[in-house]
Amino acid sequence: MRIDIISILPELFTGPLTNSIVQRAMEKKIVEINIHPLRNYGMGAYKQVDDYPYGAGGGMVMRCEPLAACIEELLQKNSYDEIIYTTPDGEMFDQPMANQLSMKKNILLICGHYKGIDQRIRDKYVTREISIGSYVLSGGEIPAAVICDAIIRLIPGAISDEMSALSDSFQDGLLAPPVYTRPEEWNGMKVPEILLSGDEKKIADWRLEQSIEITKKRRPDLLSD
């Protein structure tokens, strides 16, 4: 998979995309991530990428020209399965969407800032608009990093135990059951006997029951969906 990211603050990706599973996936050549600083395409001596909105109102809007120049340059070299804009008014990011995106070959992510990007860029280039929650962040870099992390870990070979990803929360529409490790007893609290039984069917049934109960208590909306 190839992921291109357009950002005015590329340094924000240094931590999230250069450690752990994402880093190992890049080292294995499973995924290629390229960050494109938008200010390289900025206008004038100050490399301007934003301006005041028409119709007044507070804040600034990212201009068409720098974004279009960067996008067009990338389109000359690559074809994209999705051109994604991270925005609060996009469709809510969830595990099924992460599963779907993990099967794509080339993705372009546009990180917004200020009051967002000029609508004409959205109309001309963007194929999908995604939000990671009902709140506003300072920019689209954190959502873009979240999306990258969520989809890269699903690509075969990105994690050593691929079955682990399949048992994560939300993969089956439920929250994950409780997990335990050594020691068997800690501070007077013991690991449930069923997990020590070696009976795979009973353990699987117990985990499903626990997942359903936890989901009922914490995220009943998942069951209604």
DSSP 126-149: -SEEEESSSS--SBSHHHHHHHHH
**For the chain, what is the mean pLDDT?**
93
In a domain, 159, yes or no: no
Q: Are residues 95 and 32 in the same domain?
A: yes
CB atoms within 10 A of CB 35: 20
> Do 97 and 173 share a domain, yes or no?
no
Residue 212 within any structural domain of the chain = yes
CATH code assigned at 88: 3.40.1280.10
Low-confidence ranges of the chain (pLDDT < 70): 161-170, 225
Tens-place pLDDT, residues 57-67? 889 999 999 99
Q: Do 108 and 203 belong together in one domain?
A: no
209, two tokens: 């029951």
CATH code for the domain in which residue 207 is found: 1.10.1270.20
Q: Could you tell me the residue range of the domain that residue 191 belongs to? A: 167-224
pTM of the model: 0.88
Instruction: Give the chain's domain count.
Output: 2
| Within-domain flag for 25 | yes
Task: Report if residue 160 sits inside a domain.
Answer: no
